[in-house]
Structure 1
Amino acid sequence: MSILADNLHALDIHFPSLSHFLKDYSETLTIDDYKTSVSRTGCPTIEINGQLIHSRFDPQKESYRFIENQLSGDASIYIQGGFGLGYHSEALLELTEDEILIIVEPDIKLFYHAMCLRDLRHLINCGRIIFLIDSEPDNVLAILEQFPGKLVQIIITRSLYDYKQNYYDSLRNKVGNYISRKEVNLSTLKRFGKLWLRNLSENAHLLAEVPGIRSLDHLFDGLPALLIAAGPSLDTILPYLEKLKERFILVAVDTALRACLKENVEPDFIVVADPQYWNSRHMDRCPTDQSILISDTSTFPSVFRQIKGKKFLSSSSFPLGLYLEENTELKGKLKAGGSVATAAWDFCRIIGASEIWCAGLDLGFPDKQTHCRGSFFEQRVHWLSERHRPAEDFSWHALIDAGLHKVEANDGGLTWTDRRMNLYVRWFEEQMEKYPVLQSFNISQKGIKIRGMGFSTLAEALKKPINRMEIDLKLNEAGQIEPSPGLYSELIKSIESLIENLSSLHELADRGLQLCHKLEENFKKGHEISRILTELNKIDAAIINQSGKEIAAFILQNFITDLLGEKKSPTPEQTINNSISLYEELNQSIGFHRELLQKALKNTKISQE
């Protein structure tokens, strides 16, 4: 058999789809497409566009040295960008133990050459490699989702990067964004997880009282929207807000509400997406009669009392909220981008805005300012100011603490921003790419330049035709929308059912904890443990099949991530201790959820009356 036939036979066993893919293209993928040569050590190398992708002297040794210098030693998953002829993958396999290797090669012809020139069966048969050949970078993220909690490192082969720079830049950016978002999500969960759930239990009755944003889907087709964020550049727009309201649907984030009302302009919609008490203060002494509130059940409860107008709910991002919605009425999801401005942009998209213009969307700190004048944030800074530490110093220290750097602004200059804002910029850029037909414009000169979002001026915005009469007609139509009938009884029934399921789950977890303590004792004494392990396996299987487990596990994600992210295989003693800790954490979570659900049940029954 030939080298290619041997490799294809191995692929048939372990990667049949990839094998079929190569065979289908074998007639067009010839060995003569690239220039091959033999290195001094006798190993093949290859030349693309006049550049060798492996050493002409010793490709194996030099690939080994490159990978050795790149390895962090902490990762559980390595993404290798560029397979070439497989030398770097061999080095990565040799230098790691049981880590997962994701091999990404965008060039099917190059991969075919490798299959023809080198015996790669040891790589194909190793059981630790996942191949992504001729595949979009986004597909890497789908694989990473299958391994939650694992630390990831990406290594891009230097010579192959020069060959397909755009592809590898995209791969690096997408993986980097994915890792950053996961880190932020876990950090946010650790900080706010229990607060989200407390707020949800207080607001659960709203699921039966308030319609969902899905009922607004495309209601405003053909009308432009103005997203009003609270960045410093909003100050230059506010004097013209009344004229802009004649032309645009005004969708304001909560932090911009106070500034709008100071101009005697009430936004059409107010978007709130923060569970904290301090965030609810943005609505203090902000009387609104006509504005429609867009939020979800994790918002601080007082917000729903402060905003007097019509309300619409978006779907919860959390297992408990999703469970209650699935058993009552799905409200409609807003894309999570980590910021209220990202939620507001997606809301504008959902309601059918023909264009989305953005004011105050700086995503940075022009002139070292953090918010527009008159926002609650700015007022709080002044309240906290001391004689020897003026308000300007508070803002600047907030920026320094966030890790400042400068990036290109819309006017071609440079604007300060930080790592958190970078995540929001990337989110917007992903949406611009995903919805190319929906045009978005930013009228913040000193705001961060967002790839795919056009820069325009206030003067151009004011040239838009007057649409207020048509907008008001649609708003009146929105005001007539009501939730589905009969939701109270469905909500009460779902809460009672969940409390019962969590009680059963508690019994299983409590039994598992008792067995783990017995297992620990028997292991230390050298007694027989097989029966205990068998019973624990049965309990674990019952927990996995138990309704409500995802809800109880929600606030355990950081704990579980820490367990999954352990680099070294735990000792038997550590495994037992981890099991004890897991059952203890699960029991505490169940107790916490049951307490909140009892409160939600009580509030819902009172509201029904």
Structure 2
Amino acid sequence: MADLEALLTSHLEHFKTHHELVGTLDPASIFQSLSSPERDALAEGVVSRRWQLSGKLLHSERDAGREAARAAAAFGSARAIVCVSVGAGYLLAHLPAALRSVLIIEPNPFCVAALLLAGEFKKCHARITLVADTLAAADALETILPWLQGKNLKQTIVYVHPAARAAEPSLYTRAYERVVQLFEKRSVNQATIVKFQRLWNKNIFLNQRVMHSAGTLNDLLQTGAPEAIVLAGAGPSLASSFDDLRQHRSRFLLMAADTAVVPLAKAGLYPDLAFAADPQWVNHHFAETADAARPAWVMDPVVCPQIPRALVDRGAKLFFWNNVFLSDRLLRSVDRGDVAHGGSVSTNAFDIALRWLGTRSDASAPARLILVGQDLSFPNRQAHCKGAVLEAQVYARSHRLNAMEQHNLRQMRALPVLWVKGIRQAKVATNAKLKIFLEWFAARAAEKNEPVRLINATHDGAEIAGFEHVDLPTALTGVEPRENPVGKIAPRGPGQVRDISRLIVDFTMIMRLMRENENLSRVLMPDQKTVQKLNANDAAFKNLRQAKDIAALAQQALILKITEQGEEVNAPEFYRAMAQAAREARHWARKVFGA
């Protein structure tokens, strides 16, 4: 067995030299974690080249190489492949020459050891990234996102090793489902970036008018946390919680998503903290109420600029957190604090609430984070809370052939319907987008380390794994009335405003370079001088790193077409788009900072 462990170590070092290894499983210590029968199976595999998992062969008994070649032939013209296990790795020696990048997801420690001991990876011409991970953590596969960057998804395939799945069906089926979910989540994220590609920089620049004098998330988190926080979303069942919220209002701090502020205000309920993160102009309606300034607002720098500007005019207290986009990183003068993103403003608020409650050190009992109005589904075929801001607009457009019920039906069927376990019903309808949020909440509950009770007091909708499901009065048992700590936060004075005059000059340079290249690239038979000028302008463009990356954010649809969808985009179109993006970025920067 000592010789077997030494061989494993030797092959591991060879793998690390030529390929990449990530994940929570440490192959160097895997051997010690295996059972005696598993070690015997590995020893038998080294001698006989027969590799068995749970008593079942991981390859053809007659001709493993021929089986692998037949499987690889089906990959066609793929340029990259995601493999949910490759067993002992015979497949790797037969991959098509065009396939240059391989990602192997291996959740079974035995198969990680078998793959390394078999040594078949040495015959692979492609670059291998091995994710050795049990996938116990909900976000375990987030580590593969860098690998996916720049990959043409039309030429990337997912392969599940049949023999491994036959030996451990639940493990490998779950791994495959996790890969599919990650691809769906990534597609949703990319669609969001593309949908609002011209808003990100615009909103960040315009919000600088109020952000330099606003508070930060860190200011909020340094304030003493309450014993209980109720986080309200604008799910269809929120109205059913109004009576309980009103009766026990003094016993908790009320946080609300921007979509829930107006319905709550109509019911005489005023949040202590409201959250906004959506860049769309239509979202300014969520702050169009006479009581909008009663709560303090916590926002993302990309939020629709009409919201913070209107709130400042009414004297509201504002807080902002950090944004990942380069324009915000470049403009901020202080660290405001980071927020986890799950795809909705409610997930932002949940992360903040959980971290805030986790700072309570002198408490004898765990703090409580209670959800209401987080249906994450369409209970009773309803898509929105009664009294929602945009409900009036839907009614205004209604007629005998287009009623509110049809609006709800369109919302339900905008994406394929999925069925999940319900709170009051055996199952409720949801969709892929809402399920991302549902799984995000469940994942946070599974990995929660803070001494906080997670309670879902939502009246109806989908159950969230890892949460207690009780009504609001029960959730608040033993909680005494408390003073709102948000009011104790002193207003922040005007902060430092960054000088971005150099950035504005660089935007102007990009416009000149791209317009010149647009004209040069239209020449059908370019001479050497023209080609050299094109190359020189491209090199100068690449050197303008900050301005280039900020401008590129406004042309993500075009960039993704080239990098990940494999579509041909002619050069003049690209240069014209980048010139337009630089012009827009310069316009918004000048509007706020002058120059």
Give me the whole-angstrom Cα distance separating, in 1, the residues matched to 2:20 and 2:562. 33
Alpha carbons of structure 1 residues 64 and 447: separation in structure 2 relative to 1, 3 Å: farther
Offset of residue 552 of structure 1: 0.9
Q: Does the CA-based 8 Å contact 1:7-1:119 persist in structure 2?
A: no
Q: Does the CA-based 8 Å contact 1:148-1:561 persist in structure 2?
A: no
Partner of 1:498: 503
Partner of 2:352: 347
Partner of 1:145: 146
Describe how 1:457-606 pairs up with structure 2 within 5 A.
Answer: 457-469=471-483, 472=484, 474-478=485-489, 480-483=490-493, 485-487=494-496, 490-491=497-498, 493-494=499-500, 496-517=501-522, 520-522=524-526, 529=528, 536-546=534-544, 547-567=546-566, 578-602=570-594
Q: Which moved more, 1:195-204 or 1:353-362?
A: 195-204
Give me the whole-angstrom Cα distance separating, in 1, the residues matched to 2:400 and 2:28. 77
Describe how 1:174-189 pairs up with structure 2 within 5 A.
Answer: 174-189=178-193
Partner of 2:436: 423
Describe how 1:221-300 pairs up with structure 2 within 5 A.
Answer: 221=225, 223-300=227-304
Alpha carbons of structure 1 residues 464 and 129: separation in structure 2 relative to 1, 3 Å: same
What is the aligned length?
Answer: 567
Partner of 1:98: 99
For the pair 1:334 / 2:339, whether they are aligned, the reply is yes
Offset of residue 554 of structure 1: 0.7
Q: In structure 2, give the amino acid aligned to 1:330.
A: D
Q: CA RMSD in A?
A: 3.5
Q: Give CA-to-partner distance per residue, 1:136-186, whole Å, 9 cap, x none.
A: 586654343144242143222133135455654554344333322322222
Q: In structure 2, give the amino acid aligned to 1:292.
A: A
Give me the whole-angstrom Cα distance separating, in 2, the residues matched to 1:37 and 1:370. 59
Alpha carbons of structure 1 residues 504 and 450: separation in structure 2 relative to 1, 3 Å: same
For the pair 1:213 / 2:255, whether they are aligned, the reply is no
Q: In structure 2, give the amino acid aligned to 1:361.
A: Q
Q: Give CA-to-partner distance per residue, 1:492-517, whole Å, 9 cap, x none.
A: x23x2321222233344345445544
Q: Which moved more, 1:372-381 or 1:139-148?
A: 139-148
Q: Give CA-to-partner distance per residue, 1:27-80, whole Å, 9 cap, x none.
A: 998995217889xxx9843222222222323333444445556x5x68543111
Alpha carbons of structure 1 residues 75 and 225: separation in structure 2 relative to 1, 3 Å: farther
For the pair 1:89 / 2:88, whether they are aligned, the reply is no
For the pair 1:442 / 2:442, whether they are aligned, the reply is no
Q: In structure 1, give the amino acid aligned to 2:413.
A: I
Q: Which moved more, 1:334-343 or 1:504-513?
A: 504-513
SS in 2 for 1:406: strand
Q: Give CA-to-partner distance per residue, 1:218-257, whole Å, 9 cap, x none.
A: 4243521100111112122101212332111100112211
Q: In structure 2, give the amino acid aligned to 1:481.
A: P
Offset of residue 305 of structure 1: 4.6
Give me the whole-angstrom Cα distance separating, in 1, the residues matched to 2:277 and 2:33. 53
Q: Does the CA-based 8 Å contact 1:89-1:103 persist in structure 2?
A: no
Give me the whole-angstrom Cα distance separating, in 1, the residues matched to 2:291 and 2:449. 37
Offset of residue 25 of structure 1: 7.0
Q: In structure 2, give the amino acid aligned to 1:312.
A: F
Q: Does the CA-based 8 Å contact 2:87-2:163 persist in structure 1?
A: no
Give me the whole-angstrom Cα distance separating, in 2, the residues matched to 1:500 and 1:588. 15
Partner of 2:363: none
Alpha carbons of structure 1 residues 25 and 579: separation in structure 2 relative to 1, 3 Å: same
Q: Does the CA-based 8 Å contact 2:244-2:473 persist in structure 1?
A: no
Q: Does the CA-based 8 Å contact 2:235-2:375 persist in structure 1?
A: yes
SS in 1 for 2:230: strand
SS in 1 for 2:357: coil
Give me the whole-angstrom Cα distance separating, in 1, the residues matched to 2:247 and 2:162. 54
For the pair 1:324 / 2:314, whether they are aligned, the reply is no
Calculate the TM-score normalised by the size of structure 1. Answer: 0.82
Partner of 1:78: 81
Q: In structure 2, give the amino acid aligned to 1:482.
A: R
Alpha carbons of structure 1 residues 332 and 61: separation in structure 2 relative to 1, 3 Å: same
Q: Does the CA-based 8 Å contact 2:53-2:164 persist in structure 1?
A: no
Q: Does the CA-based 8 Å contact 1:271-1:295 persist in structure 2?
A: yes
Offset of residue 586 of structure 1: 1.4
Q: Does the CA-based 8 Å contact 2:107-2:175 persist in structure 1?
A: no
Alpha carbons of structure 1 residues 394 and 465: separation in structure 2 relative to 1, 3 Å: same
Partner of 1:403: 416
Alpha carbons of structure 1 residues 600 and 8: separation in structure 2 relative to 1, 3 Å: closer
SS in 2 for 1:312: strand
SS in 1 for 2:274: strand
Give me the whole-angstrom Cα distance separating, in 2, the residues matched to 1:253 and 1:17. 40
Give me the whole-angstrom Cα distance separating, in 1, the residues matched to 2:540 and 2:372. 53
Q: Does the CA-based 8 Å contact 1:269-1:292 persist in structure 2?
A: yes
Offset of residue 421 of structure 1: 0.6
Q: In structure 1, give the amino acid aligned to 2:502.
A: S
Gaps of 5+ in 2: 359-366
SS in 2 for 1:209: coil
Q: Which moved more, 1:223-232 or 1:593-602?
A: 593-602
Partner of 1:571: none
Partner of 2:51: 46
Give me the whole-angstrom Cα distance separating, in 1, the residues matched to 2:575 and 2:162. 46
For the pair 1:390 / 2:403, whether they are aligned, the reply is yes
SS in 2 for 1:521: coil
SS in 2 for 1:448: coil
Q: Does the CA-based 8 Å contact 2:236-2:385 persist in structure 1?
A: yes
Give me the whole-angstrom Cα distance separating, in 2, the residues matched to 1:23 and 1:330. 39
Q: Which moved more, 1:355-364 or 1:165-174?
A: 165-174
- Find 1:313's aligned residue among 291, 316, 320: 320
SS in 2 for 1:271: strand
Alpha carbons of structure 1 residues 378 and 25: separation in structure 2 relative to 1, 3 Å: closer
Calculate the TM-score normalised by the size of structure 2. Answer: 0.84
Q: Does the CA-based 8 Å contact 1:149-1:562 persist in structure 2?
A: no
Q: In structure 2, give the amino acid aligned to 1:451.
A: A
Q: Does the CA-based 8 Å contact 1:102-1:129 persist in structure 2?
A: yes
